[in-house]
Amino acid sequence: MKTKSNVKCRKIGSKLAGLKNETLMWLLLLPTVFTLILCHWNPIFRGMLTSLFQTRGFKLVEFVGLLNFKNVLTDTMFLQTLSNTFQYVFWSLVIGVIPPLAIAIAVNEVVHFKQGFKVLTYLPAVAPALAASIIWMNIFSPSSGGMLNIFLNWIGLPASKWLLNENLTIPLIVISMTWKGYGATMLLYLSSLQSVSQDLHEAAVIDGAGVWKRLFKITIPHLGPTMLLMLVNQIIGVFQIFDQPLVMTDGGPNNASLTLGLTSYKMAFSYMQVDRSMALGTVSFFILLIATLFYFWMQKKLED
């Protein structure tokens, strides 16, 4: 009897302790939840609400339903802007995905001057973005004093228009972004690479697997989840890009580098049309939802 009631007591006790524990655990999450509500859900709710109103300054004046959306979507520039935005994403996938991966694997491989390579290849990432834009603007400058044009001049070729060339402007902006941004991604891959179990490699060597086979059978699959995460992060990031084109081309030439983000930014700040800006932001939000769905779908596939 005695032991039995004791057990019962303990059970109730542990349940209570569990509840208490649960509360304490949520307390640990409290700051995160708080900021999540304050800095994410609150502004998106306010932003979407604003998109349904006519605004005066930041103040809501009159409910107008979907008028702002109609205005934004019937804009003759909308489709071009959307297509530009996708072009940025496309080029960032073409230009931006391989370098951090290749450099991370290479740095992980070498034994000579390893630390030096790490530091040097990471260096661009410590430059403030604005500084990077200033520098790349000069490198791609269409005037004879632009760095690339000096090189062309050296080898006897005529100067190119670079950023002024409608077909080149997006890839060039993406190159400057890649130069600035690949370091962080590389670092993430590096730390992931360091956790590849060396036993796996050794076992594969014994099985007679060559270097290439091991790269694709062991290293890349190991990086898989990180790569997927970085990919989605990159797509989302590039989809919202506005500061680089703002600084480097102001959306030109002939709107060739205008993005949804930049249009939305200009509406809010240059043209004082907060309502329309918020409507365009909401549109981007829904497009990005699709990217999110894609991420979850891929993640599931990878897990299976």
Partner 1 sequence: MNRRIERKKEGLITSSDYKRLSVKISYWLIVLFLVLCSLIALLPIVWAFLSGFKELNEYYSVNPTLLPQKISWDKLVDVSTKLKIGKSFINSMILFFGCWVGEVIVGGIAGYTISRLQPKGSKLLFTLMLWTMMMPHTLTMVPMFMTWTDFPLIHINYQNTWIPLWTGSMANIFNILLFKNFFDGIPKSYIEAAKIDGCSNIGIFAKIIVPLSVPIISTITVFVFNGTWNNFMGPFLYLKDPNMATVALRLYNTTQGFTEPEQMLAAFVVMIPSVIVFMICSKQILGNNMNVGVKG
Partner 2 sequence: MMKNKFKGIVSTVLTAVIACSLAGCVGTKVGQGDGRDGDGNLHISIGGTPTEKTEENAKTYDLFMKNKADFESANPGVIVDADNWSFDLKNYMTKAEAGDLPTMYHTSPTEVNNIVENGYAADITELVKKYGYDKMLNDEKYGKLYMRDGKYYGLIKDGTLYDMGIAYNVDLFRQAGLLDENGVPKFPQTWEELAETAKIIKEKTGKAGFAIATKNNQGGWHFMNIMWSYGADFMEQDKNGKWKATFASEEGVKALQYIKDLKWKYDVLQDELLADIQVGGRMLSTGDAAMIITQRSMLDTYAEKFGLKANNVAMSKMPAGPAGRFAQVGANVYMFSGTEEQNEMCFKWLDMLGQGPNVTDATKEQWAKNYEIKAGKGHIVGVRGANLWLNDERVKAEMEAMEPYRTVEDKFFADYVNGEGVEYKFEPERCVQQLYAALDNAIQTVLLDENADCKDVLEKTQADFQVNFLDKEV
Point out which residues bind partner 2 (CB under 8 A).
Answer: 20-21, 24-25, 27-28, 30-31, 34, 54, 56-59, 71, 74-77, 141-144, 159, 161, 163-166, 249-250, 252-255, 268-272, 274
Q: Which is nearer to partner 1, 8 or 120 (CB)?
A: 120
Longest dimension (CA), the chain: 100
Contact positions with partner 1 (CB under 8 A) in 227-286: 229, 233, 236, 239-240, 242-243, 260-261, 264-265, 268, 274, 277-278, 280-282, 284-285
- The item of partner 2, partner 1, none sharing an interface with residue 152, based on CB under 5 to 8 Å by kind, is none
- The item of partner 2, partner 1, none sharing an interface with residue 47, based on CB under 5 to 8 Å by kind, is partner 1
CB of 59 to partner 2, least distance (A): 8
DSSP string, 280-293: HHHHHHHHHHHHHH
- The item of partner 1, partner 2, none sharing an interface with residue 7, based on CB under 5 to 8 Å by kind, is none
Contact positions with partner 1 (CB under 8 A) in 106-135: 106-113, 115-132, 134-135
- Integer-rounded Cα radius of gyration of the chain: 26
Q: Which is nearer to partner 2, 138 or 233 (CB)?
A: 138
CA end-to-end span of the chain: 50
Cβ–Cβ under 8 Å, residues 227 and 101 = yes
Report residue 63 as tokens.
């409910």
Q: Which is nearer to partner 1, 172 or 188 (CB)?
A: 188
CB of 4 to partner 1, least distance (A): 27
- The item of partner 1, partner 2, none sharing an interface with residue 94, based on CB under 5 to 8 Å by kind, is none
Using the rule CB under 8 A, give the single segment among 64-72, 76-84, 160-168, 178-186 that binds partner 1.
178-186
CB of 56 to partner 2, least distance (A): 6
3-state secondary structure of 182: helix
In the block, tokens 């997927």 appear at 228
Q: For 195, which DSSP code?
A: T
Tell me whether residue 79 is exposed, middle or buried, using C-beta atoms within 10 angstroms of its C-beta: 0 to 12, 13 to 18, 19 or more: exposed
- The item of partner 2, partner 1, none sharing an interface with residue 222, based on CB under 5 to 8 Å by kind, is none
Does position 103 interact with partner 1 (CB under 8 A)? The reply is yes
Phi (first) and psi of residue 32, to 5 degrees: -65, -45
d(CA 244, CA 125): 15
Phi (first) and psi of residue 156, to 5 degrees: 80, 20
Report residue 96 as tokens.
């931006």
Contact flags string 35-64 toward partner 1, x per CB under 8 A:
xx-xxxxxxxxxxx-x-------x------
With residue 59 as reference, give the H or E element that holds it: strand 59-63
